[in-house]
Amino acid sequence: MQEELKAIQEEALATLEQINDMKELQALKVAYLGKKGSLTQVLRGMGKLSPEERPVVGEIVNQVREAITKAIDEKSDLLEKAALEEKLKEESIDVTLPGRPVKVGGPHLLTKVIEEIEDLFIGMGYEVREGPEVETDYFNFEALNLPKNHPARDMQDSFYITNELLLRTHTSPVQARTMREYKGEKGFKMICPGKVYRRDTDDATHSHQFTQIEGLYVDKDVKMSDLKGVLNIFAKKMFGEDRNIRLRPSFFPFTEPSVEMDISCKVCHGEGCSVCKGTGWIEILGAGMVHPNVLEMGGYDPKVYSGFAFGMGPERIAMLKYGVSDIRQFYLNDNRFLKQFHQA
Ligand code: FA5
């Protein structure tokens, strides 16, 4: 029986040598140590041994079982380690491989120009305000010295929602709203960027929806020369020190006197070319001294307070600054156009 046990041990260890995966190892464990395994079979035969032989053989059985168990455990450790190494090898990352490029977006050109203008005026002490795009007839027109049936209402064709509500045609209603908030008690400087809507036919320089930036400075003793100074700083910072500005008389019902501001043409520097239609100048905004009626309706005493206001179109400014020849490019979201300005 001792021989038989030794043979089982040798056979088990030899088989173990050949094993290369966990399944086979499990099968081997069952074949030798399981309920029906070879070692168990031998143990069953121990009943036939004499009482003296039993402890001796029992001890040998235990030794054989221990030896086989130990060898199986060692093999199991080895296989697990090998499997782990294999997995790590498969999942390893080659850090020297070039990375996949991540496409980086950027703000829309119009957003950049609006933010640039905002920064410029914030630097001169202006606060940035907002107003509703769906506006009342009162704030869009009446509070700006444009009573119902006033012929100047035709200057801005409107999208009416009801008799009293419309999509605002300009950012000027925010002038009236801000004056009412300050209740005529103190001076202030504000700008208001935002979307506006007009029944204009779309072409290279007109859109039915576009943006404006309104500016308003109300205080005691604000003069036309202050307006000229601020617009001059704005134009030079925005377009370059070598550019000149020109104010032409104009008409807006909410300012008196009213002006339009031209900037010297970037291409011909005032000589006259096709970009400026031969005039040497390009119009970029409307402005003027706040009309006394508008100050009064806003709660300010026009004998004590005065103010200037301006309204510009950031699309037109961006077109001039970056050489964009068609306003519709701003709204098409064509990435070939937009990405040219990500680094601008
Ligand atoms: C106004 O809207 C006045 N509210 C501006 C103003 C404010 C004057 C304060 C005095 C005091 P105007 O209609 O000219 O004015 O428009 C101002 C600017 O908006 C224009 O100079 C132009 O740059 C831009 N603009 C006007 N219509 C369009 C359009 N259809 N598409 C794109 N830009 C436009």
Summarised one tens digit per residue, pLDDT across range 180-212 is 999 999 999 999 999 999 998 998 888 999 999
230 pLDDT band, cuts 50/70/90, is very high
Q: What is the pLDDT of residues 56-114, one digit of tens each?
A: 888 888 888 888 889 888 888 988 998 898 888 888 888 899 988 888 889 999 999 99
Beta bridge partners of 13: none
Asked if residue 40 lies in contact with residue 34, where contact means CB atoms within 8 angstroms, the answer is: yes
In testing the pocket of ligand 1, which one of 208, 252, 256, 317 has its CB within 8 Å of the most ligand atoms?
Answer: 252
Least confident of 123-127, 146-150, 250-254: 146-150
Rounded to the nearest angstrom, the distance between the alpha carbon of 210 and the centre of ligand 1 is: 10
Q: Counting atoms of ligand 1 from 1, which one is nearest the CA of 172?
A: 4
Q: Which candidate, 233, 239, 193, 235, places its Cα nearest to that of 216?
A: 193
Task: Tell which wins on pLDDT, 230 or 5.
Answer: 230
What is residue 344's predicted lDDT score, i.e. its pLDDT? Answer: 60
The whole-number pLDDT of residue 150 equals 87
- Cα–Cα separations (whole angstroms), residue 45 to 38, 147, 255, 264: 11, 119, 119, 115
Residue closest via CA to ligand 1's atom 32 equals 206
**SS3 per residue for 195-249:** EEECCCCCCCCCCCEEEEEEEEEEEECCCHHHHHHHHHHHHHHHHCCCCCEEEEE
Residues with CB under 6 A from ligand 1: 156, 170, 172, 198, 200, 206-207, 210, 212, 214, 252, 255, 283, 285-288, 309-313, 315-316, 327
Q: What is the mean pLDDT of residues 309-337?
A: 93
